[in-house]
Amino acid sequence: MEPLWKLAYLLEPAPVTLILTAIAVTFGSAFRALTYGKEMERNRDLSEASITLDRSQALMIPIMSSCSLLLMFYLFSSVSQLLTAFTAVASASSLYFCLSPYVAHVKSQFGLADPFISRCCSKSFTRIQGLLLLLCSGIVAAWLISGHWILNNLLGISLCIAFVSHVRLPNIKICAMLLACLFVYDIFWVFYSERFFGANVMVSVATQQASNPVHTVANSLSLPGLQLITKKLELPVKIVFPRNLLGVVVPGSTATDFMMLGLGDMAIPSMLLALVLCFDHRKNRDSVNPLDVPSSKGHKYIWYALSGYAVGLITALAAGILTHSPQPALLYLVPSTLGPIVIISWMRKELAELWEGTMPNLTDKTRLTEV
């Protein structure tokens, strides 16, 4: 156990930036999920409707995650180039999904002409959409060439936002089931996997670098500028910040030391935040008298969940500093986010409504309208 004064390291630029970024990403993911659902309701476009998990799907997530973790632990070097190529395509698509609302807003504000130029995969593309797709592809290409941590974070954040927008939870019951399973999953793979597999599987997979297929192709073709292309890549499955961020020298660290947080530690809590944010939105929308809705007077569930996330994340980082060992972040994030929501909703007599999800979601309402 390290002395308590070392908790002062949490006030350094790297951990502060990590905490603020994670909080912003979790809230941004939940907010984008809400706006995406409203877009689908407004456009009545069920072809792109999000997936709502049922009980069996929620139970399969930790099982499939464990299988994927073991697969990458044993066969990572064999599949790393294929994994990098798949990640590049998913990152470009996710980045396009995240940036398209802002581009559409700018287009409407300035009245820009945007004619259709082509049709691909049963969808028509406009000129601005084509340029945006080229921009996203260029950012991914820059990441493939440089492997810079800022680009890695940008792509990881976009993947997190896209995942939370397209994969949803119907109610707190399914959410609690998923979080409880992932709570056990995270603890096992971080604390106990070494006893069974000879190494910390979670940490090993999280810190492995993938082979860069761009470097492999350039090397085989003897292309110029080969030395500018990185051989290994950190996949955007986590956000990372150098410990010497802003030039601050941290005792015992080097220029290659990074603080990291897995995307799952943002995406999974964000699914809960998206659920309660949609609940807050529906209560405010369906309420005739605002005095009938306690959460409409500035005490919305989203703020309790977001505050709990911040507390849990800081606690996880503090535990990592004091124990000088990797920590399963969900060990702290699950109780700190789910706990306040359950307790407060029970006090407000809204737990049954949240637990069973009696209020129809946005896509369900669209489906009923069309019928």
33, 267 Cβ separation under 8 angstroms: no
CA-CA distance, 125 to 137, in Å (whole number)? Answer: 16
Q: Assign 3-class secondary structure to 132-199.
A: HHHHHHHHHHHHHHHCCHHHHHHHHHHHHHHHHHHEECCCHHHHHHHHHHHHHHHHHHHHHHHHHHCC
Which one of 45, 54, 114, 186 is the catalytic residue? 186
Largest CA distance in the chain: 71
Structure tokens at 170: 């119907």
- How many Å apart are CA 83 and CA 363, to the nearest integer? 32
Distance, CA of 82 to CA of 289 (rounded, Å): 55
| 186 is an active site residue | yes
Please enumerate in sequence order all residues whose Cβ is within 8 A of that of 30, keeping only pairs 6 or more positions apart, or say none: 164, 270, 273, 274, 277, 302
* Other CB atoms within 10 Å distance of the CB of residue 238: 19
**309 vs 276: CA distance, rounded Å:** 13
Q: Which of 291, 64, 100 is nearest to 181 (CA)?
A: 64
Residue 280 annotated to the active site? no
316 Cβ contact partners less than 8 Å away, ≥ 6 residues apart: 327, 329, 331, 332, 333
Q: Which of 114, 257, 265, 364 is catalytic?
A: 265
Residues facing 143 on adjacent strands: none
140 C-beta neighbours (distance < 10 Å), count: 24
Q: How far apart are the first and last CA of the chain?
A: 62
Strand blocks (E) in 166-205 = 167-168
Residues 6+ apart with CB under 8 A from 308: 336, 337, 339, 340, 341
Nearest to 164 by CA among 30, 316, 338, 8: 30
Q: Show which residues are catalytic.
A: 186, 265
